[in-house]
Amino acid sequence: MNKPKVGIINVSGYTGVELARLLSQHPEVALTSVTGRSSAGKKLGEVFPHLADLALTIEPELGEVSFAFSAMPHKESAKEVIPLLSRGIKVVDLSADFRLKDAAEYPAWYGFTHPEPQLLSQAVYGLPELYRREIAAAQLVANPGCYPTGAILALAPAVKAGIIEPEIIIDSKSGASGAGRTLSLPTHFAEANEDASAYALDGHRHLAEITQELRLFRPQLPAAVTFVPHLIPMTRGILTTGYAHLASGRIASGSRGSGEVFQLYQDFYRDEPFVRVVAHPPHTKHTWGANTCFIHPTLDLRTGRLIVISAIDNLVKGAAGQAVQNMNLMLGLHEPTGLGAAAIYP
């Protein structure tokens, strides 16, 4: 039986090359085509020596494939994806171009008018833990952003169960690879090393995505989310801490309440292959290279506040690994296929 032919648009970024690494080890698909602009015409192994065994040349245009990943930047990705959809090709888009359901949000958060707003209702938000059935039936999946993945997985059980008030604070700390491979002063080694800084305090673009998804759980009581991201001096990983006051009368007081919250999270993620609810605060290093999200829910008994901590590798569960997870569902494959590797530690 012939394996599905898979292609990556823009293999030269961090997300694209991580996709290539994961797909090179996937037993059920064949990576046959990769594109790139500045590196077009070069052997993939010349640009990324660790992928030399793939024996692929980086082309300016995608070859004949039945499934495609677009790792293009925001605004640019839609231009690549739309023609593929008209040819019947299934696509996972790793940009934000199809994540938001309201086309009016794009000028405000991403600075462009969406070229095909009717596709936004067709695109499925690619968080398998919430939309597994819809993803399996989709032609177009919008892969979630890295920050939203950690934040939504951390807070979804509490929001859905109605145990917290709508005022939510999310604090996230990310490694420098989250900014992409394009050179920039804030991620220059001399600037980022031995430093930590908050940014986008007036509203990070991922806030629209986080709020959109959390509000779907309780539309009658919209979530009011404050989201503050931080850049810290490491390459990979996102550590997210979510805070919210408990709703009155929904959880027992004292240590019994802590146990109820932990059980709520265990039940919510009981059968999930890539989410682990853990008894101790996770470290980003626990996720390095793996498609795993670790979640630790607890209560601040002094203040009656829920505290939830999540840890992911921003390039795997936060991007390329989750994209492969979505591909598996869309192709009818076993969901964990090709994603079973444990984290690299230390």
Q: Is the peptide bond before 60 cis (omega within 30 degrees of 0)?
A: no
b or e along 216-233 (b: 16 or more beta carbons within 10 Å of the residue's beta carbon)? Answer: ebeeeeebebebebebbe
Parallel/antiparallel/unpaired status of strands 275-277 and 293-300: parallel
Phi, psi (rounded to 5 degrees) for 17: -70, -30
Q: With 0-12 CB in 10 A as exposed, 13-18 as middle and 19+ as buried, what is 250?
A: middle
Helix (H) or strand (E) holding 239: strand 238-246
Closest CA to 143 of 124, 130, 129: 124
Specify whether 146 is catalytic.
Answer: yes
Nearest-angstrom CA–CA distance, 69 and 44: 17
- Of the residues 146, 152, 161, 246, only one is catalytic, namely 146
Supply the residues annotated as catalytic. Answer: 146
